[in-house]
Chain A
């Protein structure tokens, strides 16, 4: 068995190759690509929120191509049915002489390995729940029969923040199932120039396969092995606790603008995402900085604002940033000694 260091080094190399491959196609979204990789490595699902045309679908497709994973896309529409996602049994007649009737499972797009759930907020809650169930269970039940989905099973859902009319926003309890919620920003001018140069010229070559199924699974396993020291775990717990207004450690802003804070699942997601960050950096341990870096995408969809927070237009991002800035990382005397040392 290879040593941990070798595996870690290997994993870092593979991830860098994957990142480079995806970034070569998806321009100007390096941070998004990075965070999507967190989700992939941590074994969670990712919710992408951004305006149309920012490359969300391209990102998923490219990622899928680089990973040599089976890609499927679900375009959510209001008339989409759950069976359109999961699949259904179809009556099939076979045999010329004596036709045989049997039911044959026609698998739905959920059986892909990298599933793009486009505009998930457009489908009805019933249809949404079919996907969310599969995300949670990594299995679907069709006509009473349970079908386990093939690993790695990675769902990337998108939300269009512009068109909210006629949509069904995901409830907070369902949002909690996504490890990360990534905000896809518009590219700056230089990035836009690169995009234009790349996409309006000759057709580019398809991205090459970088990692296979085994590699992804290995990455996920290695991610779980990343060490988290007690002080770091304590910090993660403090951070999540501080997001709840009823906790003593909550900041005044949290008490004012938050109705419900992140729960246990949020803390788990925080640590898993931080492990993924550490792995991507080739470290075998999680650092305080990893937690601070993953706090925003992990917690932004898990904090429910109060009426006052909404009325004052206090964003969850602002709340999380304030939390991270105000919460002490280390014990007070250690911090004081560090500051005195200059």
Chain B
């Protein structure tokens, strides 16, 4: 290392220190500016994510980190003595005197001294303004901007946080009283076909009660929905269905037998539609009629239907028809007893009651029966002991006079008379009369299950589920439009066609026969599809070309063919279009 002149050393070091300090400050400021911007950005991100408390610390931390990094980088980029000398030579226009003086050869002491003296003179006479370094850059404006921005963001109120979506299945639902469950719980009082059947209905009721209790406490939504769906499925399974392979032939035979009689055609329709409530009501109305011909025909048709079901092995249907036949006889007697009592109490009955008596005899109306029974009970209550006795005697005379033309049997008359003679018997008679218009256990059961099914759908809606239509009755549709979402029988949805050949193993062939619709329905030739179609029919003057047609689809086709003639279709295509609409 050459021995430099002290004076040159002093001057050079002084300028070098100043230059390095300014460069260091510039580097640190640049880093601070960048850090302020980044810190403001981090604070903004934290503000957005709701981390309010951390914002100012994040800004300070990022800024501090940037300062440290900038200081380290600036220190690493510190100019060497040669760099400083080159800068001084360039700014002072010394023709590299300082640089040469700095690296003067040691073996040439004279030369070195001469160079350093010259450099010394140059540095001593240098004007400071010529050696200024631009340490403030446009980038440094980002420092106050970033600090201001970061500070503002740090005190900014946090945005309203959107509630995080709950994970599926984590949501708890609470219902104090979920609508629909009460109708399922009512299954506890529904009559069962057997003890086991009643037990199952009570079990369903208990499940609904348990679901209600759990919902009060709070239950996971998915679980609640699943339990409600299972309840509906269980209810549907309990409903009597005769659409399967085993029962279908029996149904056809029973419907055919009932449909053959004029009086029982409505009952046949109801049975064909699977509406046991309507079937029961029809049979009850027939049993109520005074006209023996209707009752005899109904009884005979019922027997024939029962036999047909038995012959075709439809056990469930046969059991139902057997119960219905027993009930028919019972209802006959009850209705006759009511009419008999009403006849004897005609003076005590009002005008409405007398009209109901007539109606009951004529049509077997259940409403008339209810009203008449009520009126007879009231009339019986108002009888004095002597009048009651007199009535009992009158019934006894009827018994002893024979039963010609009397719908009641001798046992029934005797029973009726004995009941009238005692208070307890009267109360029992009144109770019996009250129960006259009650449906059969089968119908009651079905009605309760239908109500429960509707209740289940309502409960599902209350839990946020769109209820899936319950499996429809086979054949000619449900006929019961109360259940939401239920569709008429869809028909056989067996697919046609198979997979494309030539996939060479890439795609397995699809066999259409394997595709089955959920509702395996069949069209009954004798029972028209309860639907409506919109088609064209022959236009008559004064009418529109479109008519709302109902009935079989086959009928619609004929109208469509005729409509082709009147439609605006080119002559060349009429034949083809007409063929398309041929039934």
A338 at the interface (CB under 8 A from B): yes
Complex Cα distance, B88 from A334, in Å, reads 10
Contact of A333 with B83 at beta-carbon distance under 8 Å, contacts A227-B105, A289-B95 already known: yes
A287 touching B95, Cβ below 8 Å:
yes
B179 at the interface (CB under 8 A from A): no
B114 touching A231, Cβ below 8 Å:
no
Tell which of A229, A283, A290, A338 has the most Cβ of chain B within 10 Å: A229
Complex Cα distance, B91 from A228, in Å, reads 20
A3 touching B110, Cβ below 8 Å:
yes
With beta carbons under 8 angstroms apart, the residue of B99, B102, B114, B133 that contacts A8 is B114
Residues of A within 8 A of B103 (CB): 229-230
B97 at the interface (CB under 8 A from A): yes
Residues of B within 8 A of A260 (CB): none
Complex Cα distance, B23 from A288, in Å, reads 25
B82 touching A5, Cβ below 8 Å:
no
Contact of A227 with B90 at beta-carbon distance under 8 Å, contacts A8-B114, A341-B133 already known: no
Residues of B within 8 A of A337 (CB): 23, 87, 133-134
B73 at the interface (CB under 8 A from A): no
A284 touching B118, Cβ below 8 Å:
yes
Residues of A within 8 A of B86 (CB): 231, 330-331, 334
Residues of A within 8 A of B105 (CB): 227
A285 at the interface (CB under 8 A from B): yes
Complex Cα distance, B115 from A278, in Å, reads 13
B100 touching A284, Cβ below 8 Å:
yes
Contact of A286 with B96 at beta-carbon distance under 8 Å, contacts A231-B82, A340-B134 already known: yes
Q: In chain B, what residue has the closest Cβ to A233?
A: B103
Complex Cα distance, B97 from A5, in Å, reads 14
B residues 86-138 touching A (CB-CB < 8 Å): 86-87, 90-91, 95-97, 99-105, 108, 110-115, 117-118, 132-134
B residues 530-578 touching A (CB-CB < 8 Å): none
Shortest distance between the CB of B8 and any CB in chain A (Å): 14
A338 touching B114, Cβ below 8 Å:
no
Shortest distance between the CB of A126 and any CB in chain B (Å): 44
B77 at the interface (CB under 8 A from A): yes
Residues of B within 8 A of A333 (CB): 77, 79, 83
B residues 433-465 touching A (CB-CB < 8 Å): none
Tell which of A289, A338, A342 has the most Cβ of chain B within 10 Å: A338
B residues 407-450 touching A (CB-CB < 8 Å): none
A residues 197-229 touching B (CB-CB < 8 Å): 225, 227-229
With beta carbons under 8 angstroms apart, the residue of B96, B101, B133 that contacts A232 is B96
Residues of A within 8 A of B99 (CB): 229, 231-232, 285
Count, A-B residue pairs, CB within 8 A: 84
B134 touching A341, Cβ below 8 Å:
yes
Shortest distance between the CB of A311 and any CB in chain B (Å): 40
A residues 234-282 touching B (CB-CB < 8 Å): 278, 281
Complex Cα distance, B117 from A5, in Å, reads 10
A4 at the interface (CB under 8 A from B): yes
Residues of A within 8 A of B110 (CB): 3-4
Q: Mark B155-171, 1 if CB is under 8 A from A, else 0.
A: 00000000000000000
Residues of A within 8 A of B104 (CB): 227
A residues 308-342 touching B (CB-CB < 8 Å): 330-331, 333-334, 337-338, 340-342
Residues of B within 8 A of A287 (CB): 95-96
Residues of B within 8 A of A340 (CB): 133-134
Shortest distance between the CB of A328 and any CB in chain B (Å): 11
Contact of A283 with B133 at beta-carbon distance under 8 Å, contacts A227-B100, A227-B108 already known: no
Complex Cα distance, B118 from A286, in Å, reads 13
Q: Mark B16-43, 1 if CB is under 8 A from A, else 0.
A: 0000000100000000000000000000
Q: In chain B, what residue has the closest Cβ to A331?
A: B83
Residues of A within 8 A of B108 (CB): 4, 225, 227
Complex Cα distance, B122 from A285, in Å, reads 14
Residues of B within 8 A of A286 (CB): 96, 100
By secondary structure, the B interface counts as helix
By secondary structure, the A interface counts as helix
Contact of A4 with B114 at beta-carbon distance under 8 Å, contacts A227-B100, A229-B100, A338-B91 already known: yes
Tell which of A8, A227, A228, A283 has the most Cβ of chain B within 10 Å: A227
Residues of A within 8 A of B96 (CB): 229, 231-232, 285-288
Shortest distance between the CB of A25 and any CB in chain B (Å): 30
With beta carbons under 8 angstroms apart, the residue of B23, B100, B133 that contacts A285 is B100
Shortest distance between the CB of A166 and any CB in chain B (Å): 47
Residues of A within 8 A of B102 (CB): 229
Complex Cα distance, B130 from A338, in Å, reads 10
Shortest distance between the CB of B41 and any CB in chain A (Å): 28
B100 touching A338, Cβ below 8 Å:
no
A338 touching B95, Cβ below 8 Å:
no
Contact of A285 with B87 at beta-carbon distance under 8 Å, contacts A227-B108, A232-B99 already known: no
Complex Cα distance, B436 from A254, in Å, reads 122
Complex Cα distance, B86 from A230, in Å, reads 11
A285 touching B97, Cβ below 8 Å:
yes
A284 touching B90, Cβ below 8 Å:
no
Q: In chain B, what residue has the closest Cβ to A285?
A: B100
Residues of B within 8 A of A334 (CB): 79, 83, 86-87, 90
Complex Cα distance, B453 from A178, in Å, reads 117
With beta carbons under 8 angstroms apart, the residue of B82, B97, B111, B133 that contacts A230 is B82
Residues of A within 8 A of B111 (CB): 4, 225, 227, 284
Contact of A341 with B82 at beta-carbon distance under 8 Å, contacts A284-B115, A333-B77 already known: no
Shortest distance between the CB of B524 and any CB in chain A (Å): 95
Complex Cα distance, B132 from A289, in Å, reads 23
B114 touching A330, Cβ below 8 Å:
no
Residues of B within 8 A of A5 (CB): 114, 117
Shortest distance between the CB of B173 and any CB in chain A (Å): 69
Complex Cα distance, B114 from A225, in Å, reads 12
Residues of B within 8 A of A330 (CB): 86, 90
Shortest distance between the CB of B123 and any CB in chain A (Å): 15
Q: Mark B505-518, 1 if CB is under 8 A from A, else 0.
A: 00000000000000
Complex Cα distance, B524 from A131, in Å, reads 131
Shortest distance between the CB of B133 and any CB in chain A (Å): 6
Shortest distance between the CB of A276 and any CB in chain B (Å): 15
Shortest distance between the CB of A228 and any CB in chain B (Å): 8
Residues of A within 8 A of B87 (CB): 334, 337-338
A residues 1-30 touching B (CB-CB < 8 Å): 3-5, 8
Complex Cα distance, B90 from A337, in Å, reads 11
Q: Mark B482-513, 1 if CB is under 8 A from A, else 0.
A: 00000000000000000000000000000000
Complex Cα distance, B133 from A105, in Å, reads 70
Shortest distance between the CB of B33 and any CB in chain A (Å): 16
Residues of B within 8 A of A229 (CB): 96, 99-100, 102-103
Residues of B within 8 A of A281 (CB): 95
Tell which of A281, A288, A331, A334 has the most Cβ of chain B within 10 Å: A334
Residues of A within 8 A of B82 (CB): 230-231
Shortest distance between the CB of A234 and any CB in chain B (Å): 10
Q: In chain A, what residue has the closest Cβ to B19?
A: A337
Shortest distance between the CB of B405 and any CB in chain A (Å): 131
A338 touching B90, Cβ below 8 Å:
yes
Complex Cα distance, B87 from A289, in Å, reads 15
Complex Cα distance, B82 from A330, in Å, reads 10
Q: In chain B, what residue has the closest Cβ to A225?
A: B111
Residues of B within 8 A of A285 (CB): 95-97, 99-101, 115
Q: In chain A, what residue has the closest Cβ to B99?
A: A229
Shortest distance between the CB of B86 and any CB in chain A (Å): 5
With beta carbons under 8 angstroms apart, the residue of A3, A228, A230 that contacts B114 is A3
Q: Which 9 A-B pairs have the closest CB atoms?
A: A285-B100, A287-B95, A4-B110, A340-B134, A229-B100, A4-B114, A229-B99, A287-B96, A5-B114
5 contacts between A and B (CB under 8 A): A225-B111, A284-B111, A285-B95, A285-B96, A288-B96
Beyond the given pairs A227-B108, A230-B82, 10 more chain A to chain B contacts, judged by CB atoms under 8 angstroms and listed by A's residue number, are A3-B114, A5-B114, A225-B108, A227-B100, A227-B105, A227-B111, A283-B97, A284-B114, A285-B99, A333-B77
